Structure 1
Amino acid sequence: MTSKNCFMYLIVTILIISVLSACGNSNEGQSTSTSAPSPSAQSESADTASNDDGYRLLTDALGNEVKVPNHPQRIIASFLEDPLTALGMKPVAQWGYKGAPQHYLQDKLGDVPVLNVDGGLKSEETLSYNPDLIIFLSPSYLRNGDYEQFAKIAPTFVLSDNDSDWRGNLQKLGALLGKEDAANQALADYDKKLSDAKKQLGGTLTDKTAILLQGGDEKGYNLFGPGFFGGAMLYDAFGFKAPSLINGSYETYSLETLPQLKDVDYIFVLSGEGRAKPPENNPLWQELPAVKSGHVFAVDSGHWFNANPIANGLVIDDIVRYIHE
């Protein structure tokens, strides 16, 4: 080999070594940026927080770092069964009060065992179902010190710090479970259903007043205000007027205030097992124009005393069924 050829060979060798070295440095930088996600990684960065062990490291509403399984199979999400069902998923056990689950979901969850959550979800019963993920809607669903007990059973994630934001919580749940598209679709379906219902009712709702009433004892009753479960559907979603008597989200009123409901066009009364009836035998009730005109409707407390995609859809069905021109 001539000296000229030797010189050229040396240059080519140096160039190859330089290229390989640059590639190695580039790969090393990428590995560093993705293998150590921020401890506060939220669901929107879930993909970058994934690892080879089948879980994502996410931070919940209490600030806990939780190893959330990428594909949980045995979920317990007490009182989140509605949004969970809307995402096309089933829990391994479902919420129940005195042995009774949420009846309006039983066409989907009829074969799912019922938890005893009287006084709150219990760690011992939860353990018996061998969950791989436990979800609480908010800190208010946890008693003091309970989190650590559940975290010893399975990864435990507190979803939100806002119980009433059902839309945002559905999206958070979708992100947590890798069901973002299903959450967006459920919201789109709900929005269309509400829009179609309001178009169908047309001018029926114009300047109409409605209330959602819960029967009480012989002395009083409760009314739902704007932003509170079925009250949110009446006033915020459909645009019914609230009577001037309503002064809060969920307040108790004496029977002597019944005459102040004389301008109410429609009265929806919570019904269901264990629910008190309205004051039907009270003369003040019997004199109300809505009562005289037959505009009092018994509605299932299971979905009216709720705020989730399936429950709200059933409320829409009820309003369309009962309200006519």
Structure 2
Amino acid sequence: MRSQFGYGAKSQIKRIYQQIVLFGFMAVLVVACNHSSVSETSTSTNCRRVDHLAGETCIPLNPQRPVVLGVPTMANAIFLGVKPVGTILYFDQKAPPPYLEGKLEGIQIVGTGNQPNLEKILILEPDLIIAMNDSELSYDQMSQIAPTVVDNWYGYSDWKEHFNFVAEVLGKTEESKQVWAHYEQRIQELRQALGDNYQDIDVSVVRVCCNNLASDVKNSFSGIILNDVGLRRPPSQDSAPGGLVIFSEELIAEKLDGDIIFAIVDDDDDSEKAFEQLKNDPLWNKLEAVQEGKVYPVNLATWRGGNPLAADAVIDDLFKYLVAGQES
């Protein structure tokens, strides 16, 4: 028995099994590809062509089962009244940011970060895939499963443009006008509530994460919201590629000097530990905002959300700390 079913034989059986599984998966993929091609050809009158980063694609007029490969894309779809059947996440599924609590039910997770799982996507039988250009799957792979569009995502400084792209793809351009009207209304309400009290105040933003310090500058997601509200930023936090400036602890005084500091901290032990260590740094404690007790911790996934749902939550934070705090 040993000679027949030893290590070598087991390895060979394992390889044969893996080949069978792979062959079966590829066969399903080919069928999906052929079905997609036939469907697009035979129902061209029931789809519309959309230009995107990877070319032109005929997509369903009213997608019912979209898979989205980005948290901003997912939140955009939800805000437009479309619940995706699948998404990738950048955070722990069990601990979503507050602005997404209760909104992920019924959405299957098909990967993390920028690494979607092709097999999981295929099982969901989507009628549309919305991807960003940082996905590790190729356009050819995704388009074999369902009509696929790719947005040219340059980072969170493009969050407004990405929302408009998603609205166009989902056929929700009219609904998108209502979303932007809501956003503008909230911005104006906050401007009115702030009045002239912050006209000469510098608002600084520090991100405590990933073994370094950084600042979300003017062209970041939160930076754009602060700018729309009319809040002034320190000169050291002007625009930068990707909306983020990373710096060493020695530059705390130079990069974080401001009358108010919003500290963006992730909901994990490492970030919270790093923030506690920062509080003990002599350079940090020399900052005027620290000495005046005007350092406000906020949620990282929210302040880097890159979508109108998260923007609503950021505006809530600004009301909480700058308006309600001012009145108390």
State TM-score, norm by structure 1.
Answer: 0.75
SS in structure 1 at match of 2:115: coil
In structure 1, distance between residues paired with 2:266 and 2:209: 13
Deviates more, 1:245-254 or 1:310-319: 245-254
State whether residues 147 and 156 of structure 1, in contact with CA within 8 Å, keep that contact through their aligned partners in structure 2: yes
Pair 1:106–1:217, CA change in 2 (3 A): closer
Pair 1:192–1:126, CA change in 2 (3 A): same
In structure 1, distance between residues paired with 2:118 and 2:317: 37
Residue 300 of structure 1, CA deviation:
0.8
Say yes or no: does 1:94 pair with 2:104: no
Residue 316 of structure 1, CA deviation:
0.7
The match for 2:222 is 230
In structure 1, distance between residues paired with 2:166 and 2:189: 26
Match of 1:240 among 213, 231, 241: 231
In structure 1, distance between residues paired with 2:114 and 2:168: 29
Q: Percent identity?
A: 27
The match for 2:18 is none
The match for 1:292 is 291
Residue 263 of structure 1, CA deviation:
4.6
1:216-241 Cα offsets, whole Å, 9 max, x none, are: 577x511111111222222x222322
The match for 1:310 is 309
1:117-152 Cα offsets, whole Å, 9 max, x none, are: 24422222211211110001x32x233x61100111
State whether residues 88 and 110 of structure 2, in contact with CA within 8 Å, keep that contact through their aligned partners in structure 1: yes
In structure 2, distance between residues paired with 1:260 and 1:253: 10
1:84-133 Cα offsets, whole Å, 9 max, x none, are: 11111100023223642743223222332223224422222211211110
Say yes or no: does 1:71 pair with 2:41: no
Higher-Rg member (1/2): 1
SS in structure 2 at match of 1:307: coil
Deviates more, 1:186-195 or 1:114-123: 114-123
Q: Match for 2:123: what amino acid?
A: S
Residue 60 of structure 1, CA deviation:
2.0
Q: Equivalent residues in 2 for 1:96-245 (5 A)?
A: 96-97=89-90, 99-100=92-93, 102-103=96-97, 104-136=99-131, 138-139=132-133, 141-143=134-136, 146-160=138-152, 163=155, 164-216=157-209, 220-234=212-226, 236-245=227-236
State whether residues 258 and 284 of structure 1, in contact with CA within 8 Å, keep that contact through their aligned partners in structure 2: yes
Pair 1:168–1:250, CA change in 2 (3 A): closer
Pair 1:161–1:110, CA change in 2 (3 A): closer
Q: Equivalent residues in 2 for 1:249-288 (5 A)?
A: 249-260=243-254, 263-274=257-268, 276=271, 277-278=274-275, 279-288=278-287
SS in structure 1 at match of 2:301: helix
1:194-233 Cα offsets, whole Å, 9 max, x none, are: 1111111112221111122112577x51111111122222
The match for 2:30 is none
Residue 53 of structure 1, CA deviation:
4.7
Residue 162 of structure 1, CA deviation:
5.3
Report the structure, 1 or 2, having the larger helix content: 2
SS in structure 1 at match of 2:75: helix
Pair 1:259–1:74, CA change in 2 (3 A): same
In structure 2, distance between residues paired with 1:304 and 1:267: 13
In structure 1, distance between residues paired with 2:281 and 2:186: 38
Residue 261 of structure 1, CA deviation:
5.8
Unpaired runs of 5+ residues, structure 1, are 1-50
State whether residues 204 and 323 of structure 1, in contact with CA within 8 Å, keep that contact through their aligned partners in structure 2: no
Report the structure, 1 or 2, having the larger strand content: 2
RMSD over aligned Cα atoms: 2.4
State TM-score, norm by structure 2.
Answer: 0.75
1:46-103 Cα offsets, whole Å, 9 max, x none, are: xxxxx6652223332222x312011211111122011111111100023223642743
Say how many residue pairs are matched. 270
Unpaired runs of 5+ residues, structure 2, are 1-42
Q: Match for 2:234: what amino acid?
A: P
Pair 1:97–1:262, CA change in 2 (3 A): closer
State whether residues 204 and 256 of structure 2, in contact with CA within 8 Å, keep that contact through their aligned partners in structure 1: no
